[in-house]
Structure 1
């Protein structure tokens, strides 16, 4: 039997218990074996221990396992390109108490991951590159805070056996992400921090060159969000590439323009362990049909990846 993962919020981020439970039932009914828990991926919501047990009971009821969990970086922000100085529970905050609260928020997600049996958590790290340009010294201050938070989280993460995976982002030009990952990976081992490769995000920022990005960090790919879109046009302003539009639709693989042959080439050469995870958004009335097509695409990807590893 081929194992396959699916994002829990494919039908939206409902807060109604019945609708969350129904979403998991439909995932299981479609044939998926694993879940990427993606509810409350954004914001400063804290799970109570009783809620963690409730989610685990739903997983058990429907015979589902947890592949990964999407943690939150804190309060929603107006722009990923500039530092939000007022964000709550932000592990990269320049305000020390907010930074500490952000660390506690990630610890909360690590606890949930352990209850569900997930071995990796995914985090967005927004690199405020426009603030770096406008405020000299802000880049060093930003990374001081980020490193302080990761240093504090490391002992617990290693003890729990949970890896932090930084997601590839669509709001940040590739060159800025290269600087970010190079700097962080030089400091922390792959046993602690890796990458969550979101194929849709890298397709937006790099189009046909998206696998160049993934190949550079291939040995750090431990989590994936596989989804399709149409890419994203960019413009060069005074020698500085800027994102001007994006179309991150989270479509089913092969329903957009991503080269999935190239994607599976990279995954087959990476340390990524099955099951793969599809992170898709359903905007169709017929969810059953959407899940059927999603499952078929996922099986095709998993088979291709395994074939290339033989």
Structure 2
């Protein structure tokens, strides 16, 4: 199996500490400066300027993590729905301004959804209608900008459910993201499939992967090798992936990026 090149998720102010590693091999970078209300309103221009400066000279692929706190993409409140759409559109504009071609958004699917799927008529259809109402204008805007929205598993227990939601848009501007830690946590908490199964289920729709390890109890965002994930199986699935997803370490402590990378490199999985 050919080792895969991986990058990292960072704030603009953290990039300099990893510049040689990231820039020398044009590694994938995910910018995490645009997730808050302030970052997309009062602080927007300053954040964009800081990110542009931090990325100067980088020739690799760039994405951003979009906002998510309180911004459910299937929100039932008709007064809140346009506010959520507007926030995502503002994040898209920020992504475009810094040259990012991906934006991560969070999945709305949960174990609650799966267990209540057939408890009443039209449950799945109503949820999907809300998702299209909120996210439809964002997908259309992303198409025009050449940006891909990637939907990350959070509480998902069935990967095919999220895949079907992405497929329902019929657009090249929306695809799948897999967070390895979230997938493993769902396995331990809810009996979801293992990480490699989730990656394989995504198939050609896989455009982005958060690489993080954990203990199966909480969302730790530890470096690979410090938790329970079977990395050879996960990277075998990635090696068979027909797409070329962004691969980024998403660690709670960015100073541990070298350790996480070294573990995967020493296993012969990453370069």
Q: Does 1:210 align with 2:200?
A: no
Which residue number in structure 2 is paired with residue 46 of structure 1?
A: 40
Q: Does 1:221 align with 2:187?
A: no
Q: Does 1:146 align with 2:149?
A: no
Larger deviation: 94-103 or 220-229? Answer: 94-103
Q: CA deviation at 1:202?
A: 0.7
Distance 2:91 2:83 in 1: 13
Cα distance change, pair 56–299 in 1 and its aligned pair in 2 (3 A): farther
Cα distance change, pair 90–210 in 1 and its aligned pair in 2 (3 A): closer
Q: Does 1:304 align with 2:258?
A: no
After TM superposition, list the pairs within 5 Å mapping 1:288-303 onto structure 2.
290-297=256-263, 299=265
Q: Does 1:57 align with 2:57?
A: no
Q: C-alpha offsets along residues 204-261 of structure 1, whole Å, 9 cap, x if unaligned?
A: 1125732222212222110010111223xxxxxxxxxxxxxx3221111122221111
Q: CA deviation at 1:179?
A: 2.7
Distance 2:101 2:123 in 1: 33
Cα distance change, pair 143–274 in 1 and its aligned pair in 2 (3 A): closer
Q: C-alpha offsets along residues 42-66 of structure 1, whole Å, 9 cap, x if unaligned?
A: 6675243453133212221x74755
Aligned residues of 2:212 and 2:251 also touching (Cα < 8 A): yes
Aligned residues of 1:90 and 1:98 also touching (Cα < 8 A): no
Distance 2:252 2:218 in 1: 13
List runs of 5+ in structure 2 lacking aligned partners. Answer: none
TM-score normalised per structure 2: 0.79
Give the number of equivalent residue pairs.
255
Which residue number in structure 2 is paired with residue 5 of structure 1?
A: 7
Q: C-alpha offsets along residues 92-140 of structure 1, whole Å, 9 cap, x if unaligned?
A: 2222332111111111121122222221111012236647849956654
Q: 1:188 aligns with which of 161, 169, 174?
A: 169
- Higher CA-based Rg: 1
Aligned residues of 1:218 and 1:266 also touching (Cα < 8 A): no
Cα distance change, pair 108–271 in 1 and its aligned pair in 2 (3 A): farther
List runs of 5+ in structure 1 lacking aligned partners. Answer: 10-19, 76-88, 232-245
After TM superposition, list the pairs within 5 Å mapping 1:1-310 onto structure 2.
4-9=6-11, 21=13, 23-29=14-20, 31-33=21-23, 34-41=28-35, 45-47=39-41, 48-60=44-56, 63=58, 67-75=62-70, 90-127=72-109, 130=112, 133=116, 136=120, 139-169=124-154, 171-172=155-156, 174-175=157-158, 177-182=159-164, 184-189=165-170, 191-206=172-187, 209-231=194-216, 246-273=217-244, 276-282=247-253, 287=255, 290-297=256-263, 299=265, 304=269
Q: Equivalent residue of 2:22, what SS? A: coil
Aligned residues of 2:214 and 2:229 also touching (Cα < 8 A): yes
